[in-house]
Amino acid sequence: MKISQKLEYACRALAQLAKTYDGKSLTRLDELAQREAVSANFLVQILNDLRRAGIIDSRRGAHGGYLLSRPAERITLRQIVDAVEPSQLQNTALTEGESGTAVRRAWQTVSSKLANDLDNISLSSMANPPSDPMFYI
């Protein structure tokens, strides 16, 4: 599956915000950009999309920055996709020709299952993945 750079950067920035989320502490744009090795100019555009979608809040000024609008457990990967790449889950298959309807229906099934899977992945699970088990010799 091909993930756009914009969506990947959005997930990485949100994972950073989730790691420090306490409901009040702000993270500056330059800190986010540096931690995730992302262009600050590109990141600000992504953060604006996330803010418009209600996923993050921002404050201006010398002590400004960004923070999640709610706990990471309540933000799903689907909400992130919808905010940054809304066309990602759209089915564009045509119904023309003898097989068009059947092919479109198949792609609708795939799209629906993907959307359901995205609903079941929280930002919290991306920010704090379970650690791999330790094996001792």
Instruction: Count how many Cα atoms sit within 13 Å of the Cα of residue 126 in the half-sphere of its side chain.
Output: 23
Q: Which residue has the higher pLDDT, 130 or 5?
A: 5
Whether 97 maps to a domain, the answer reads yes
What percentage of the chain reaches a pLDDT higher than 90?
64
Whether 134 maps to a domain, the answer reads no
pLDDT of residue 53: 97
Whether 80 maps to a domain, the answer reads yes
Q: Which two tokens stand for residue 122?
A: 């929280």
Q: What is the CATH number of the domain that holds 122?
A: 1.10.10.10
Whether 42 maps to a domain, the answer reads yes
Contact 69, 103 (CB under 8 A): no
Total tally of structural domains belonging to the chain: 1
- Give mean pLDDT, residues 106-132: 87
- Residue 132 pLDDT > 60: no
- Residue 19 pLDDT > 80: yes
Global confidence as pTM: 0.85
Whether 104 maps to a domain, the answer reads yes
Return the amino acid letter for 134.
Answer: M
Residue 14: which domain range?
5-127
Whether 93 maps to a domain, the answer reads yes
Number of C-beta neighbours around residue 16 at 10 A: 19
